[in-house]
Amino acid sequence: MSLPPVRLGVNIDHVATIRNARGGALPDPVRAAKLAEQAGADGITAHLREDRRHIGDADIARLVAELDKPLNFEMAATDEMLAIALRHKPHAVCLVPEKREERTTEGGLDVAAHHRSLRPFIEKLAANGSRVSLFIEPDPVQVAVAEALGAAVVELHTGTYVEHVFAKNEAAASAELDRLRAAAREGAERGLEIHAGHGLTYDTVSPVAAIPEVRELNIGHFLIGEAIFTGLGPAVERMAGLIAKAREADAA
Ligand code: PXP
């Protein structure tokens, strides 16, 4: 029997990175989002960073107004971002850690250390109608605290697994996959919906997509880079195809 499908959320932040390298309006991340929708994305993900280095406030307003598929709004747990999320009521909000000096989100949110400060954010966002996700390391303590905080979803950070694959460190990659599998199982047993993402590529997506409890993958940087060579539509189609294949009964 095949596993239930995994949704593909396409993160369009880095279309805005290219736009912002020159200023102006092109390339338009909303156009990319619509193309990704047409190519089979199940949702669009965008991270409004505090320094607005890629996605801007106007992009979020347009994405909310113009998309057909659900928007997953990634944000740091700050009062400024909370006000924006409460105003726009995106389908989903994913709380992520954010440091100004980092090039990308470098790890999961330490929900165990910050549970007191995070709780009001989760409560307010959920009461406002957004499905709240916490981006965490694949760690049983983080999963347990996420459940205790009342989050609906955990997104498991796949960046370490991908780094080990790229470094050709098979033992470490396999150990990290085991951590992802165990955290997914633990989270599902606790009633959490399981998502995963960060750094995923054609070569690394299949084992993560094959984790039975995973329901959504959020993928951005690789797809936007691949779009340079093949176009965004074909890149999204190929990624969606790899994810679907990993869910087939005979995939393992
Ligand atoms: N999921 C989360 C929570 C993220 O912060 C990011 C990066 O913004 C992604 C997924 C997508 O990561 P990547 O761009 O490396 O595919």
In a domain, 106, yes or no: yes
Q: Could you tell me if 236 and 38 are in contact, meaning their C-beta atoms sit under 8 angstroms apart?
A: no
Residue 10 has pLDDT above 70, yes or no: yes
Residue 214 has pLDDT above 70, yes or no: yes
Nearest Cα to 34, choosing from 68, 70, 57, 59? 68
Q: What's the CATH code of the domain at 111?
A: 3.20.20.70
d(CA 249, CA 77): 39
| Phi (first) and psi of residue 121, to 5 degrees | -65, -45
Number of domains in the chain: 1
Q: Mean pLDDT across the stretch 2-15? A: 97
CA of 1 to the centre of ligand 1 (A): 30
pLDDT tier, 100 (very low <50, low <70, confident <90, very high otherwise): low
In a domain, 2, yes or no: no
What number does the ligand 1 atom closest to the CA of 199 have? 15
Q: Mean pLDDT across the stretch 213-241? A: 98
Q: Which residues are catalytic?
A: 47, 74, 198
CA of 219 to the centre of ligand 1 (A): 6
In a domain, 174, yes or no: yes
228 lies in which domain range?
7-251
- What was the pLDDT predicted at 101? 67
Residue 237 has pLDDT above 80, yes or no: yes
Indicate the pTM of the whole model.
Answer: 0.97
Q: What is the b/e burial string over 112-132, where b = at least 16 CB atoms within 10 angstroms of the residue's CB?
A: bebeeebeebbeebeebebbb
Residue 79 has pLDDT above 70, yes or no: yes
136-173 pLDDT, tens per residue? 999 999 999 999 999 999 999 999 999 999 999 999 99
Residue type present at position 9:
G
In a domain, 72, yes or no: yes
Which residue owns the Cα nearest ligand 1 atom 12?
A: 198
pLDDT tier, 252 (very low <50, low <70, confident <90, very high otherwise): low
d(CA 146, CA 149): 5
